[in-house]
Chain A
Amino acid sequence: MGINKKILASVFIIGLLAFGLGFGTYSYFNDTETSSGNTFSAGTLDLKVDGQDDGGTVAHYSLSNMKPGDDTGYYKWVLKNDGTLSGKLSVNFSVITNNDNGLTEPELACDTTGGSHPEGELGQYLKPGIHPDDIPDDVKPYVTIIERNDTEGWFIAEVSAEVDTGGTIGWGPKGWTVPSIVISQWQSGPPHPWGTPGLNGFGGKTYTYGTLDPGAEIAFFFKVKLDSNLQIWDGTKWIEVDDNIIQSDSVQFDITFRLEQVTP
């Protein structure tokens, strides 16, 4: 093989290698552009009860040492939506637990339940609401009943001034001492064979306020009272009961506040 042929062979091999290099790194043309700085944020639902966070959404209650004519006065919780999303605010009462706490000597004369938990009677005599006719006359001008059910024995009313309609639950401005939206339960006869459900009737029930927007605050009010003269419905009429039947009795329950996402 001559020198020229060797040179040509070398040139051919180099060319072939160069082709292989180019072929091996072949790819598509491409171009990339970026949409930068897109921000995605998940909202928050954060209910604060009296400024408290976790653990403050459940209020544990025990009512005891009460006597006929007692009034607890209004309990009040200020509820704030501290999140970024609107939420549906509601309050739930747990089952009301009635404790007899033993039987005192006067109680023995009228209480035949044996005196052990959970056969206390206090819950059924604690009245969480009043009949519309029992709203004080000086308060009535400020009260507008917006819904009333005589069969089930309840009404919902709006109160335009800071006046007390009587024992009830409800919602109101955080600066008020009484509710401005009243939910009153007064049932005094059928379909409840034992008469007024009392506080026991609240057991397991949920009351919804509505939508609480971010940053908004509302107060929840609750109070119960005992009549001076305890009565029970016997199916046809009210009858007197020995007031001693509630001696040493107590009730326990939880109130749970809940803020739920509003479904679109």
Chain B
Amino acid sequence: MKNGKTFTSIFIIALVLSLLMFSANQPSASACTLYLGKKIKFDMELSSNVPLFHPTKDSYFYPGSPKITKNLEVINVGDVPFRICMFNAIFYEDVYLATGLQIEIIELGTGKGEKSHLLYNGILNNLGEGVEVNGKRAIPHRKSVTLQISVWMPETAGNEYQGLSMTADIAITVCFPPAHHRGNK
């Protein structure tokens, strides 16, 4: 009988743990899940729903053109802290243009002497395959982090990019746990 009780206890513990881990694996734009027995919300929002970049309000790119810089705020509207952990992009139309553009994404400091942190600097096209990054700050509930996104065409770009135009959806992923241990790709 004693053995029976032991087995039952182990079974219940294993079942609870497995349920917890299984539910944690369900990504969602508004993820409501169980976290250590408590129902929590893991959710973020972007400050702007309108496209950041457009030639009518910015300018056209050309070799050596100045950086076009936009700020995007990532807001924690969930219950647990997160970090920026990945960028992805999907390109449409003249996708070749993505190979001729550079992008730099900086996590800005909070203005209290905190330094900005470079998350990514490279060819825009690389975002198409996803780029893992190490967000510096764990963003707590109701706080935000500002991403400074700059795009430009290097001087080395050639005539092959003349007149190309593309649209890009840029995805930002935040992750839990907030521990700063994720590696860069």
Q: Are A42's CB and B100's CB within 8 A?
A: yes
Q: Are A15's CB and B14's CB within 8 A?
A: yes
Q: Number of residues in B with C-beta < 8 Å to the partner?
A: 76
Q: Are A264's CB and B171's CB within 8 A?
A: no
Q: Are B55's CB and A41's CB within 8 A?
A: yes
How far is A27 from B177 in the complex, measured between Cα atoms in Å?
10
Q: Which of A6-14, A58-66, A132-140 contacts B (4 or more CB under 8 A)?
A: A6-14
A236 contacts B by Cβ under 8 Å: no
A44 contacts B by Cβ under 8 Å: yes
Give the interface size bracket for A toward B: 35 or more
B150 contacts A by Cβ under 8 Å: no
How far is A27 from B100 in the complex, measured between Cα atoms in Å?
35
Give chain A residues whose Cβ lies under 8 Å from the Cβ of B86: 30, 32
Q: Which of A16-24, A102-110, A241-249, A250-258 contacts B (4 or more CB under 8 A)?
A: A16-24
Q: Report the nearest A residue to B24, measured CB to CB.
A: A29
A163 contacts B by Cβ under 8 Å: no
Q: Are A33's CB and B29's CB within 8 A?
A: yes
A-B interface pairs (CB < 8 A), number: 186
Q: Are A38's CB and B60's CB within 8 A?
A: no
Give the Cβ gap from B91 to chain A, nearest Cβ, in Å: 9
A32-B27, A33-B46, A38-B51 are known contacts. Are A84 and B8 too (CB-CB below 8 A)?
Answer: no
Q: Are B14's CB and A40's CB within 8 A?
A: no
Query: Could you list 25 A-B pairs, sorted by A, with CB under 8 Å?
Result: A11-B11, A15-B10, A21-B18, A22-B17, A22-B20, A22-B22, A26-B24, A29-B31, A29-B80, A31-B28, A31-B42, A31-B174, A32-B29, A33-B29, A38-B51, A38-B53, A38-B170, A39-B168, A40-B124, A41-B165, A41-B166, A42-B153, A43-B60, A43-B62, A263-B64
Binding site for B on A (CB under 8 A): 4-5, 8-9, 11-12, 14-16, 18-23, 25-45, 84-85, 261, 263-264
Further pairs besides A38-B168, A43-B163: 18, Cβ < 8 Å: A8-B8, A21-B22, A22-B21, A23-B21, A28-B85, A29-B24, A29-B80, A33-B29, A34-B169, A37-B50, A37-B169, A38-B53, A39-B54, A40-B61, A42-B100, A43-B62, A45-B62, A263-B64
Binding site for A on B (CB under 8 A): 3-4, 7-8, 10-12, 14-15, 17-22, 24-25, 27-31, 33, 35, 42-46, 48, 50-55, 59-66, 72, 74, 78, 80, 82, 85-86, 88, 97-98, 100-101, 124, 151, 153, 161-177
